Amino acid sequence: MAKEKFNIITSTCVPLPLENVDTDQIIPARFLKATTKEGFGDNLFRDWRYDKQNKPIKSFVLNDPTYSGVILVGGKNFGSGSSREHAAWAIAGYGFRVVISSFFADIFKNNAMNNFVLPVVVSDSFLKELFSSIKSDPKMQVEVDVPNQTVKNKQTGKSEKFQINGYKKHCLMNGLDDIDFLLSNKAKIEEWESKSK
């Protein structure tokens, strides 16, 4: 999974206007046996993407070539249910870098950021407008400006501010996971330790 730096992400969107999408729908429990992050994107929304014969369900949005991009727009209460980190692995593994919703489960939100997926919380009205814009023009783009913490519907010109923890913002903008961050501060840590002996 690439640790790409986050700055300004401009992309078309994949709409999933369903509320209360839980982690078992994002990645079904039978795929949780693996201990590495590889391959989870293949099974993202598995039971919605494929029928019992493993044939793609054409009506599901990920199988519809009309929609593409690195931004997933989900309904309210995205990532509810169990705390499995595999849900974030699957979203990142598929290639999404941003998920926009009007509400995320806290554990999912943290798991997403730890796996270089940015959860962007917007108002219900902004989310509704986004779905409407994507439906009217699947090629419309959304701009997510991480430094300024804004998300913009480029079709309507409307934008909103979003919140992000300062530490996580620093890590995402510099392509650092928690261990990378500690290693980048190794000299400061060693200096502090030597002073406090």
pTM of the predicted model as reported, rounded to 2 decimal places: 0.88
| Residue in this structure with the two tokens 């209460």, named with its chain if needed | 77
Task: Using 70 as the pLDDT threshold, list the residues of the chain that sit under it.
Answer: 1-2, 33-38, 178, 180-194, 197
Give the per-residue pLDDT at 81.
84
Supply φ then ψ for residue 121, to 5 degrees.
Answer: -95, 125
Structural domains for the chain:
8-195 (3.20.19.10)
Give the per-residue pLDDT at 91.
96
CA angle 52, 58, 63 (to 5 degrees): 100
Burial of 194 (0-12, 13-18, 19+ CB in 10 A): exposed
